[in-house]
Amino acid sequence: MENIKPLAIDGVELTKPIIISGPCSAETEEQVMQTARELLRSGVKIYRAGIWKPRTKPGGFEGVGVPGLAWLNKVREETGMKIATEVANRGHVEAALEYDLDLLWIGARTSANPFAMQEIADVLRESGRDIPVLVKNPVNPDLELWIGALERLYNAGITRLGVIHRGFSTYGEHIYRNHPQWRIPLELRIRYPQIPIICDPSHIGGKRELIASLSQQALDMGFDGLIIESHCNPDCAWSDKNQQITPEVLGVILDNLVYRDAPV
Protein backbone atom coordinates (compact mmCIF):
# COMPACT_ATOMS: atom_id res chain seq x y z
CA MET A 1 0.00 0.00 0.00
CA GLU A 2 2.94 2.28 -0.83
CA ASN A 3 0.93 4.70 -2.91
CA ILE A 4 -1.52 5.76 -0.25
CA LYS A 5 -1.98 9.52 -0.49
CA PRO A 6 -2.80 11.98 2.28
CA LEU A 7 -6.49 12.36 3.10
CA ALA A 8 -7.96 15.12 0.96
CA ILE A 9 -11.41 16.33 0.00
CA ASP A 10 -11.91 18.19 -3.30
CA GLY A 11 -8.14 18.20 -3.74
CA VAL A 12 -7.54 19.96 -0.42
CA GLU A 13 -5.47 18.02 2.09
CA LEU A 14 -7.10 17.70 5.53
CA THR A 15 -5.25 19.63 8.21
CA LYS A 16 -4.21 17.85 11.38
CA PRO A 17 -5.49 17.08 13.85
CA ILE A 18 -8.38 15.91 11.65
CA ILE A 19 -11.57 16.48 13.65
CA ILE A 20 -14.80 14.76 12.65
CA SER A 21 -17.94 15.12 14.72
CA GLY A 22 -21.70 14.72 14.59
CA PRO A 23 -24.36 12.40 15.92
CA CYS A 24 -24.09 8.64 16.17
CA SER A 25 -27.28 8.55 14.06
CA ALA A 26 -29.16 10.98 11.89
CA GLU A 27 -32.59 10.95 13.55
CA THR A 28 -34.59 13.86 12.17
CA GLU A 29 -33.80 16.73 9.83
CA GLU A 30 -34.08 19.17 12.75
CA GLN A 31 -31.64 17.18 14.94
CA VAL A 32 -29.14 16.88 12.05
CA MET A 33 -29.32 20.59 11.21
CA GLN A 34 -29.26 21.88 14.77
CA THR A 35 -26.28 19.70 15.70
CA ALA A 36 -24.45 20.87 12.56
CA ARG A 37 -25.11 24.58 13.25
CA GLU A 38 -23.81 24.21 16.80
CA LEU A 39 -20.75 22.22 15.67
CA LEU A 40 -19.87 24.94 13.19
CA ARG A 41 -19.60 27.35 16.13
CA SER A 42 -17.20 24.89 17.79
CA GLY A 43 -14.99 24.98 14.70
CA VAL A 44 -15.76 21.49 13.32
CA LYS A 45 -15.31 21.15 9.55
CA ILE A 46 -16.23 17.51 8.91
CA TYR A 47 -19.66 16.25 9.91
CA ARG A 48 -20.47 12.61 10.62
CA ALA A 49 -23.87 10.93 10.97
CA GLY A 50 -24.88 7.28 10.70
CA ILE A 51 -27.68 6.76 8.18
CA TRP A 52 -27.67 2.95 8.28
CA LYS A 53 -27.04 1.66 11.82
CA PRO A 54 -25.65 -1.82 12.47
CA ARG A 55 -27.45 -2.85 15.66
CA THR A 56 -26.46 -5.87 17.70
CA LYS A 57 -30.05 -7.12 17.95
CA PRO A 58 -33.12 -6.58 15.78
CA GLY A 59 -35.91 -4.31 16.88
CA GLY A 60 -33.82 -1.20 17.65
CA PHE A 61 -33.47 1.96 15.60
CA GLU A 62 -31.73 0.89 12.39
CA GLY A 63 -31.22 4.31 10.86
CA VAL A 64 -33.32 6.60 8.69
CA GLY A 65 -31.77 5.37 5.43
CA VAL A 66 -31.58 7.35 2.19
CA PRO A 67 -33.66 10.40 3.31
CA GLY A 68 -30.84 11.15 5.76
CA LEU A 69 -28.43 11.64 2.85
CA ALA A 70 -30.49 14.63 1.71
CA TRP A 71 -30.21 16.10 5.22
CA LEU A 72 -26.42 15.70 5.06
CA ASN A 73 -26.42 17.51 1.72
CA LYS A 74 -28.33 20.31 3.42
CA VAL A 75 -25.69 20.45 6.18
CA ARG A 76 -22.99 20.92 3.51
CA GLU A 77 -24.99 23.59 1.66
CA GLU A 78 -25.83 25.58 4.76
CA THR A 79 -22.61 25.25 6.80
CA GLY A 80 -19.91 24.39 4.26
CA MET A 81 -18.92 21.39 6.37
CA LYS A 82 -17.81 18.23 4.58
CA ILE A 83 -20.10 15.24 5.12
CA ALA A 84 -19.40 11.62 6.04
CA THR A 85 -21.40 8.47 6.69
CA GLU A 86 -20.93 4.74 7.30
CA VAL A 87 -21.42 2.29 4.44
CA ALA A 88 -21.72 -1.47 4.79
CA ASN A 89 -22.89 -2.84 1.44
CA ARG A 90 -23.25 -2.14 -2.29
CA GLY A 91 -26.55 -0.27 -1.94
CA HIS A 92 -25.14 2.03 0.73
CA VAL A 93 -22.10 2.92 -1.36
CA GLU A 94 -24.20 3.57 -4.47
CA ALA A 95 -26.54 5.85 -2.54
CA ALA A 96 -23.68 7.69 -0.80
CA LEU A 97 -21.95 8.30 -4.15
CA GLU A 98 -25.21 9.45 -5.73
CA TYR A 99 -25.58 12.05 -2.96
CA ASP A 100 -21.91 12.98 -3.45
CA LEU A 101 -20.74 12.44 0.10
CA ASP A 102 -17.24 13.72 0.80
CA LEU A 103 -15.94 10.84 2.91
CA LEU A 104 -17.07 7.32 3.81
CA TRP A 105 -16.27 5.15 6.77
CA ILE A 106 -16.48 1.42 7.25
CA GLY A 107 -17.87 0.23 10.59
CA ALA A 108 -16.24 -2.28 12.93
CA ARG A 109 -18.72 -5.05 12.11
CA THR A 110 -18.14 -4.59 8.40
CA SER A 111 -14.34 -4.44 8.43
CA ALA A 112 -14.49 -7.83 10.18
CA ASN A 113 -16.29 -9.31 7.14
CA PRO A 114 -14.16 -9.97 4.03
CA PHE A 115 -17.23 -10.61 1.84
CA ALA A 116 -18.72 -7.22 2.73
CA MET A 117 -15.34 -5.52 2.29
CA GLN A 118 -14.87 -7.05 -1.16
CA GLU A 119 -18.39 -6.00 -2.20
CA ILE A 120 -17.70 -2.42 -1.10
CA ALA A 121 -14.31 -2.44 -2.84
CA ASP A 122 -15.91 -3.76 -6.06
CA VAL A 123 -18.58 -1.09 -6.20
CA LEU A 124 -16.01 1.65 -5.53
CA ARG A 125 -13.80 0.28 -8.28
CA GLU A 126 -16.78 0.25 -10.69
CA SER A 127 -17.56 3.85 -9.78
CA GLY A 128 -14.01 4.92 -10.67
CA ARG A 129 -14.15 7.38 -7.78
CA ASP A 130 -11.17 7.78 -5.44
CA ILE A 131 -13.28 8.95 -2.50
CA PRO A 132 -11.54 9.07 0.91
CA VAL A 133 -12.44 6.05 3.06
CA LEU A 134 -11.73 5.50 6.76
CA VAL A 135 -11.71 1.90 7.95
CA LYS A 136 -12.58 1.20 11.59
CA ASN A 137 -10.78 -1.68 13.25
CA PRO A 138 -12.73 -4.95 13.23
CA VAL A 139 -14.65 -5.59 16.48
CA ASN A 140 -12.19 -8.38 17.30
CA PRO A 141 -8.50 -7.60 17.95
CA ASP A 142 -7.25 -8.94 14.62
CA LEU A 143 -4.69 -6.63 13.02
CA GLU A 144 -4.33 -8.74 9.86
CA LEU A 145 -8.09 -8.62 9.25
CA TRP A 146 -7.96 -4.83 9.58
CA ILE A 147 -5.06 -4.62 7.13
CA GLY A 148 -6.85 -7.02 4.78
CA ALA A 149 -9.87 -4.70 4.69
CA LEU A 150 -7.56 -1.80 3.76
CA GLU A 151 -5.84 -3.87 1.06
CA ARG A 152 -9.17 -4.75 -0.57
CA LEU A 153 -9.98 -1.03 -0.92
CA TYR A 154 -6.46 -0.14 -2.03
CA ASN A 155 -6.51 -2.87 -4.69
CA ALA A 156 -9.78 -1.36 -5.94
CA GLY A 157 -8.05 1.97 -6.58
CA ILE A 158 -8.84 3.80 -3.34
CA THR A 159 -5.68 5.72 -2.44
CA ARG A 160 -7.06 8.17 0.13
CA LEU A 161 -7.26 5.71 3.00
CA GLY A 162 -7.22 6.20 6.74
CA VAL A 163 -8.06 4.11 9.77
CA ILE A 164 -10.19 4.66 12.85
CA HIS A 165 -9.27 3.03 16.13
CA ARG A 166 -12.52 2.39 18.05
CA GLY A 167 -11.36 -0.30 20.48
CA PHE A 168 -12.10 -4.03 20.63
CA SER A 169 -15.03 -6.01 22.04
CA THR A 170 -14.51 -7.85 25.29
CA TYR A 171 -16.78 -10.05 27.33
CA GLY A 172 -18.22 -8.60 30.53
CA GLU A 173 -18.27 -5.14 32.10
CA HIS A 174 -15.13 -3.01 32.01
CA ILE A 175 -14.21 0.66 32.32
CA TYR A 176 -14.12 0.84 28.54
CA ARG A 177 -16.97 -0.13 26.28
CA ASN A 178 -14.36 -1.37 23.79
CA HIS A 179 -10.88 -2.04 25.08
CA PRO A 180 -8.28 0.25 23.43
CA GLN A 181 -5.41 -2.26 23.22
CA TRP A 182 -3.29 0.66 21.93
CA ARG A 183 -0.46 -1.59 20.77
CA ILE A 184 -2.62 -2.82 17.86
CA PRO A 185 -3.13 0.57 16.17
CA LEU A 186 0.44 1.50 17.04
CA GLU A 187 1.75 -1.60 15.29
CA LEU A 188 -0.33 -0.68 12.25
CA ARG A 189 1.25 2.79 12.37
CA ILE A 190 4.76 1.30 12.44
CA ARG A 191 4.03 -0.99 9.50
CA TYR A 192 2.13 1.61 7.44
CA PRO A 193 3.35 5.04 8.55
CA GLN A 194 1.69 6.63 5.52
CA ILE A 195 -1.83 5.74 6.75
CA PRO A 196 -3.44 8.40 8.97
CA ILE A 197 -4.86 7.08 12.25
CA ILE A 198 -7.91 8.67 13.83
CA CYS A 199 -9.09 7.78 17.33
CA ASP A 200 -12.76 7.27 18.20
CA PRO A 201 -12.85 7.93 21.96
CA SER A 202 -16.67 7.81 21.92
CA HIS A 203 -16.86 4.11 21.04
CA ILE A 204 -13.75 3.18 23.05
CA GLY A 205 -14.99 4.79 26.26
CA GLY A 206 -18.72 4.45 25.84
CA LYS A 207 -19.14 7.29 28.35
CA ARG A 208 -18.96 11.07 28.06
CA GLU A 209 -16.56 11.39 30.99
CA LEU A 210 -13.81 9.44 29.22
CA ILE A 211 -13.75 11.40 25.96
CA ALA A 212 -11.36 14.21 26.95
CA SER A 213 -8.71 11.95 28.48
CA LEU A 214 -8.86 9.32 25.73
CA SER A 215 -8.57 12.06 23.11
CA GLN A 216 -5.47 13.54 24.72
CA GLN A 217 -3.96 10.08 25.16
CA ALA A 218 -4.44 9.38 21.46
CA LEU A 219 -2.90 12.69 20.37
CA ASP A 220 0.04 12.10 22.71
CA MET A 221 0.62 8.77 20.96
CA GLY A 222 0.80 10.51 17.59
CA PHE A 223 -2.73 9.91 16.28
CA ASP A 224 -3.66 12.21 13.39
CA GLY A 225 -7.17 13.08 14.48
CA LEU A 226 -10.35 12.31 16.37
CA ILE A 227 -13.89 11.28 15.49
CA ILE A 228 -16.20 12.22 18.37
CA GLU A 229 -19.97 11.72 18.58
CA SER A 230 -21.99 14.83 19.37
CA HIS A 231 -25.70 15.56 19.55
CA CYS A 232 -27.77 18.69 20.16
CA ASN A 233 -29.63 16.80 22.92
CA PRO A 234 -27.49 13.80 23.92
CA ASP A 235 -29.77 12.49 26.66
CA CYS A 236 -32.50 11.96 24.09
CA ALA A 237 -30.30 10.37 21.40
CA TRP A 238 -31.79 7.34 19.65
CA SER A 239 -28.45 5.45 19.78
CA ASP A 240 -25.29 5.64 21.91
CA LYS A 241 -26.68 8.34 24.20
CA ASN A 242 -24.25 7.72 27.07
CA GLN A 243 -21.25 8.64 24.93
CA GLN A 244 -22.60 11.64 23.02
CA ILE A 245 -21.75 15.19 24.08
CA THR A 246 -23.14 18.56 23.10
CA PRO A 247 -21.27 20.54 20.44
CA GLU A 248 -20.58 23.11 23.14
CA VAL A 249 -18.86 20.56 25.40
CA LEU A 250 -16.96 19.30 22.37
CA GLY A 251 -15.71 22.85 21.76
CA VAL A 252 -14.37 23.04 25.32
CA ILE A 253 -12.66 19.64 24.98
CA LEU A 254 -11.06 20.62 21.66
CA ASP A 255 -9.86 23.96 23.05
CA ASN A 256 -8.07 22.15 25.87
CA LEU A 257 -6.36 19.44 23.83
CA VAL A 258 -2.65 19.70 23.15
CA TYR A 259 -1.59 18.56 19.67
CA ARG A 260 2.13 18.32 19.04
CA ASP A 261 2.22 16.76 15.55
CA ALA A 262 4.84 14.33 16.85
CA PRO A 263 5.54 10.93 15.34
CA VAL A 264 5.14 7.91 17.62
Interaction site with ligand PEP (CB under 6 A) = 24, 50, 54, 107-108, 136, 166, 203
Residues 232-251 binding Mn ion (CB under 5 A) are 240
Alpha-carbon gap, residue 21 to 75, rounded angstroms = 13
Alpha-carbon gap, residue 102 to 40, rounded angstroms = 17
Among Mn ion, ligand PEP, none, partner that 189 touches (CB below 5 to 8 angstroms by kind): none
Alpha-carbon gap, residue 225 to 19, rounded angstroms = 6
Considering the complex, state which of residue 126 and residue 176 has its C-beta at the smaller distance from ligand PEP: 176
Please report how close the Cβ of residue 53 comes to Mn ion at its closest, in angstroms.
8
- For residue 216, CA distances in Å to 145, 199, 200, 212, 229 come to 27, 10, 12, 6, 16
**Closest among 89, 59, 31 to 230, alpha carbons compared:** 31
Query: Cβ-closest residue to ligand PEP?
Result: 107
Considering the complex, state which of residue 148 and residue 159 has its C-beta at the smaller distance from ligand PEP: 148
**Residue 252, C-beta contacts closer than 8 angstroms, at least 6 positions apart:** none
| String of contacts with Mn ion for each residue 6-45, x by CB under 5 A | ------------------x---------------------
Please report how close the Cβ of residue 48 comes to ligand PEP at its closest, in angstroms.
7
φ, ψ of residue 71 to 5 degrees: the values are: -65, -40
Please report how close the Cβ of residue 176 comes to ligand PEP at its closest, in angstroms.
13
